[in-house]
Amino acid sequence: MNHMTGTTTTTSLISIDGVSRRFGDVTALDSVSLDIRQGEFFALLGPSGCGKTTLLRILAGFEEPDTGSVRLDGADLLAVPAHRRPVNLMFQSYALFPHMSVEKNVAYGLEREKLPREEIRKRVSEVLETVGLAAHARRRPHQLSGGQRQRVALARAIVKRPRLLLLDEPLSALDKKVRAEMQLELKRLQHEVGITFVVVTHDQEEAMSLADRIAVMQGGRVEQLDAPVALYDRPRTPFVADFIGANNLFPGTVTAKGLEAGGLGVLPAPADLAADFPVGARALLAVRPERVRLGAGELRGTVVDVSFYGGTSHVALSVPGHEGHVLVATQGPARVETGAEVQLGWNAADASLIPVSERGDRSV
């Protein structure tokens, strides 16, 4: 479908423009603008309280933005009452109907579409099979475990096959194996049925592996919206650099040769970004632990900790002039020992430079 033609993937299904929402003196959403493309798997990532649920609730119609617009296929979505939107939300708290059995819960949405009884029965049993709860169809929610309830909530949302599926932490209560199965199932629904997904997750790996694009939110704002690889390799704000994966961050001033980082001297920084960073600008240099080399380089540090994780090892070094430790990830067992003095460095192209705003809100 869309992923084959390539061009249609850029059609936007949902356009969110300048949406803000305040609760008393809490700004849950602060002028959020983003487009969600037809057929894509869109992930929302961010710390607790950053406004993810509020954004989904606005899309589902339970919350009205104070300002801004939301369009679906170009038409004003905010004017459509919640029960008429082609949008299904899986609630973070599940919100299962306690007085209905599992199958009644799942059938509820299909019954509202006035589908033939036979088709409802078939689709309910199919989706219960999919989430592995066929044997529990007659149970009430209170007779299920937390992970089983979460799968009922998921089944209830996906069985409707809406244009847009909003999933608020859909897999957080599942163990690793079931979670992997459900991830595959979501991917299948995206590709075979062509449903567009917006998924909130706390799990970065999940977002990275599933999503076509990820919006990182903080304090009600979208910090960065990018494909997973770009987000990882080229964080645009200090917050994203720190929030996504592990990172070594060095504040400093841009010079012709790199980043002048206080007592550390000049650190290697990518040259191709020079246009964005005039000499003398304040910036943050970010370099991933797996990009740091041990044994050669501009810096000298003392190994304070070595941990072996099977495939990789993590080394923490204390470098004079740098707050906190510099983290290094190496393949296989580390060849250094605690207490050793080593040199370290990285290729200029492996680091990224991040502008530090004049307001000085390096909220790292």
Partner 1 sequence: MTSPPVVRKAVARVVTLGPGFGFLTVFLLVPLALVLSYTVFRRGRFGGIVYQPTGENFTRLADPLYLDVVAGSVKIAALTTVLALLLGYPTAYMIARLPGRWRVIALVAVVLPFWTNFLIRTYAWIVLLNSQGPVNSALKALGLGPVELLYTDGAIVAGLLYAYLPLMILPLYSAIERLDPQLREASANLGARPARTFWSVTLPLSLPGVLTGCVFVFVPSLGNFVIPELLGGGRRIMVGNLIRDQFLKARDYPFGSVLALAVIAVLVLLLFAQAWASRRAGRDAS
Ligand X SMILES: Nc1ncnc2c1ncn2[C@@H]1O[C@H](COP(=O)(O)OP(=O)(O)OP(=O)(O)O)[C@@H](O)[C@H]1O
**Which positions lie near partner 1, rule CB under 8 A?**
60-62, 81-85, 87-89, 91, 93, 95-99, 108-109, 112-113, 140, 142, 156, 160
Task: Report which residue type is found at 8.
Answer: T
Structure tokens at 335: 């060849």
Determine, following the binding rule CB under 6 A, whether residue 218 of this chain makes contact with ligand X. Answer: no
Beta carbon nearer to partner 1, 109 or 245:
109
> Residue 96 or residue 327: which is nearer to partner 1 going by CB?
96
Question: In which element (H, E) is residue 210 found?
Answer: helix 204-210
* Separation CA 224–CA 242 (nearest Å): 13
Site string for ligand X, 78-107 (x = CB under 6 A): --------------x---------------
- Distance of closest approach, residue 12 Cβ to partner 1, in angstroms: 22
Check residue 53 for interaction with Mg ion (CB under 5 A).
Answer: yes
Cβ 364 vs Cβ 242: under 8 Å: yes
| Closer CB to partner 1, 96 or 207, in the complex | 96
**Using an 8 Å Cβ cutoff, are 107 and 99 in contact?**
no
Mutual orientation of helices 176-188 and 146-158 as an angle, nearest 10°? 0
Closer Cβ to Mg ion, 2 or 53, answer by number: 53
- Piece of 88-96, 118-126, 202-210, 309-317 that binds Mg ion (CB under 5 A): 88-96
Q: Give φ, ψ of 153 to 5 degrees.
A: -60, -40
Under the binding rule (CB under 6 A), the answer on residue 246 touching ligand X is: no
Measured from the CB atom, the residue of 217 and 353 that comes closer to ligand X is 217
Other Cβ atoms within 10 Å of 181 Cβ, number: 15
Sheet containing 325-331: order of strands: 325-331, 312-318, 293-308, 341-345
Question: In this structure, are residues 29 and 65 in contact, taking their beta carbons and an 8 Å threshold?
Answer: yes
Element (DSSP H or E) covering residue 149: helix 146-158
CB of 60 to ligand X, least distance (A): 12
d(CA 239, CA 216): 9
Stretch touching ligand X by CB under 6 A, among 51-59, 174-182, 310-318, 327-335: 51-59
Subset of residues 2 to 31 that bind ligand X, contact rule: CB under 6 A: 23, 26, 28
Looking at residue 145, its amino acid is S
**52 binding ligand X? (CB under 6 A):** yes
* H helix intervals, 234-292: 238-243
The binder of 26, among partner 1, ligand X, Mg ion, none, by C-beta within 5 to 8 A per type, is: ligand X
Q: Give the whole-angstrom CA distance, residue 224 versus residue 364.
A: 15
Q: Closest CB to Mg ion among 59 and 328?
A: 59
Cα separation, 231 vs 222, whole angstroms: 13
Count of residues engaged in binding ligand X, rule: CB under 6 A? 12
CB of 112 to partner 1, least distance (A): 4
Nearer Cβ to partner 1, position 199 or 208? 199
Rounded least distance, CB 50 to Mg ion, Å: 9
Q: Which residues contact 30 (CB under 8 A, 6 or more apart)?
A: 20, 51, 219, 220, 221
What x-and-dash track marks residues 132-171 binding Mg ion by CB under 5 A? Answer: ----------------------------------------
- Residues making contact with Mg ion (CB under 5 A): 53, 92
- Site for ligand X, rule CB under 6 A: 23, 26, 28, 46, 48-54, 92
